[in-house]
């Protein structure tokens, strides 16, 4: 049963659904049922369903039980429904875009926590020879602890499926060569596209590019948006026709001044240098994700005492094999061994702090809305009280009347549809 509209994109619409499920039990007398929430993704066109549904399902199955990756739902549905929609785990805190809409931007300390986990999630995709191709805040979902999960694999490419693994199922067999990751498609979101991908928009001359390095560029744009609250470049994206991109190429210092002129206290030097490493115009000069986690911006945010992610079970989804990071190896070096030294004992504190900040901002916004409604209702109540008092006093000046609001409240309402003035002065309909 569909409950709520969650969002729509260029290819699909996502709805929040609820289904009654039966718990598995050996004894029929002790069996019970429960309601399970999940997200149903349905593509807009039948031909898109044929193209994208099986591709995304295949990728999600390859990435099943991997940390920081959006997962399929365990909901039990009829087989015919599985051929029409994808049923995904429901992430109760929405996506990163919604979080940034609430907060405007993140402090570097909090952004570091989220971004580190995003990098590990994307690297897991690359280890499985999967190029995401559309990394952006809208495709990063947040669970109850605001842990990010990379999602929306409809435009992804799996090198293993295309037969580029040369009958070798090891994710690391040709990772370092990069030949398996060469692409020529134009897909994704322009604000996060690498310049070599954007060149294929014109289709006059198709340019092959390394999909892994294109994902690294997108991560740089993502980091920039998380900390600043806006995109690094303009509507035209990473091309010389764009004003901000041209400044970035011609005068890097002026580029940063343009972006931080309305921001105080500005950005740290480590943040700027890391963004510039991700946004290298030459793809070959962009860092590997292993090297990125060793950047001073990450190291500076970690304490000297480190611990493995696997010990942080309270902030990671409880799924089989999720917490054993060494089950997935990196081709050139073990990124998850690196992440062991990168993810410090401050991870739990930082996630807790993120939750505290988000909840505080949401509470303040709710309080502002309530105050606005209270102010509007109080104004209405005052006008009603004045009018009622004037009638009781026989048309005299209300200020001379001795009728109190308590006495007005005690009067019998003339009908159920009329407003009643409460002792608080707020008018409510009965």
Mean pLDDT of 305-332: 32
Mean pLDDT of 379-404: 42
Is the pTM for the entire model greater than 0.75? no
Q: pLDDT tens digits, residue range 16-72?
A: 998 877 766 555 555 577 788 989 998 888 777 777 888 889 899 999 999 999 999
Most confident of 24-38, 198-212, 379-393: 198-212
What integer best gives the mean pLDDT of the chain? 73
- Contact yes or no for 344/307 (Cβ under 8 A): yes
- 173 or 387, higher pLDDT: 387
Structural domains in the chain, sorted by start: 2-21+35-160+176-344 (1.10.510.10), 381-429 (no CATH)
The pLDDT assigned to 335 comes to 43
The pLDDT assigned to 111 comes to 92
The pLDDT assigned to 27 comes to 53
- 225 or 55, higher pLDDT: 225
Q: What Cα–Cα distance (Å) separates residue 258 from each residue in 21, 208, 250, 253? A: 54, 33, 13, 9
The pLDDT assigned to 391 comes to 38
Mean pLDDT of 309-319: 32
- Contact yes or no for 110/73 (Cβ under 8 A): no
Neighbours of 63 (CB within 10 A): 23
Mean pLDDT of 101-120: 90
Q: pLDDT tens digits, residue range 251-271?
A: 999 999 988 876 656 789 999
Report CA 404 to chain centroid distance, whole Å: 53
The pLDDT assigned to 34 comes to 72
The pLDDT assigned to 84 comes to 82
The pLDDT assigned to 327 comes to 34
Query: Which residues lie closer than 8 Å to 68 by C-beta, 6 or more apart?
Result: 117, 118, 120, 121, 124, 147, 148, 149, 150
- Contact yes or no for 186/200 (Cβ under 8 A): yes
Whether the predicted pLDDT of 350 surpasses 60? yes
User: Is cis: bond before 318, omega within 30 of 0?
Assistant: no
């Amino acid at each position: 049963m569909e409950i709520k509209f969650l969002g729509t994109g260029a290819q699909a619409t996502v709805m929040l659904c609820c289904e009654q499920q039966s718990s598995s039990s050996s004894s029929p007398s002790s069996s019970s049922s429960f309601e399970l929430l999940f997200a149903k993704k349905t593509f807009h066109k039948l031909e898109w369903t044929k193209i994208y549904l099986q591709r995304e399902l295949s990728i999600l199955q390859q990435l099943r039980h991997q940390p920081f990756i959006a997962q399929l739902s365990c909901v039990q549905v009829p087989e015919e429904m599985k051929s029409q929609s994808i049923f995904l785990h429901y992430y109760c805190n929405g996506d990163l875009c919604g979080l940034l809409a609430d907060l405007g931007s993140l402090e570097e300390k909090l952004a570091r926590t989220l971004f580190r986990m995003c990098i590990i999630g994307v690297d897991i995709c690359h280890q499985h020879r999967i190029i995401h191709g559309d990394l952006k805040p809208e495709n990063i979902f947040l669970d109850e602890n605001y842990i990010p999960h990379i999602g929306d694999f409809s435009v992804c490419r799996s090198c293993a499926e295309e037969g580029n693994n040369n009958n070798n199922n090891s994710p690391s067999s040709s990772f370092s060569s990069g030949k398996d990751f060469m692409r020529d498609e134009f897909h994704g979101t322009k604000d996060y596209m690498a310049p070599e991908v954007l060149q294929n928009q014109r289709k006059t001359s198709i340019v092959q590019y390394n999909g892994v390095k294109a994902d690294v560029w997108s991560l740089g744009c993502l980091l920039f948006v998380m900390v600043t609250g806006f995109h690094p470049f303009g509507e035209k994206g990473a091309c010389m026709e764009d004003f901000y991109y041209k400044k970035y190429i011609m005068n890097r210092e002026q580029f940063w001044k343009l972006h931080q002129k309305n921001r105080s206290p500005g950005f740290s030097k480590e943040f700027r240098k890391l963004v510039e490493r991700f946004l290298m115009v030459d793809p070959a000069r962009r860092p590997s994700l292993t090297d990125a986690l060793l950047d001073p911006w990450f190291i500076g945010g970690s304490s000297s005492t480190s611990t493995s992610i696997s010990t942080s079970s309270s902030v990671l989804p409880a799924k089989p094999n999720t917490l054993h990071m060494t089950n997935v190896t990196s081709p050139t070096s073990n990124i998850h061994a690196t992440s062991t030294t990168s993810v410090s004992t401050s991870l739990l504190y930082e996630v807790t702090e993120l939750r505290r900040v988000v909840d505080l901002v949401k509470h303040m916004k709710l309080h502002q809305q309530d105050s606005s409604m209270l102010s509007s209702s109080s104004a209405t109540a005052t006008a009603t009280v004045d009018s009622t008092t004037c009638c009781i006093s026989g048309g005299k000046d209300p200020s001379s009347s001795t009728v109190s609001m308590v006495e007005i409240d005690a009067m019998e309402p003339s009908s159920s549809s009329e407003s009643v003035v409460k002792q608080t002065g707020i008018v409510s309909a009965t």
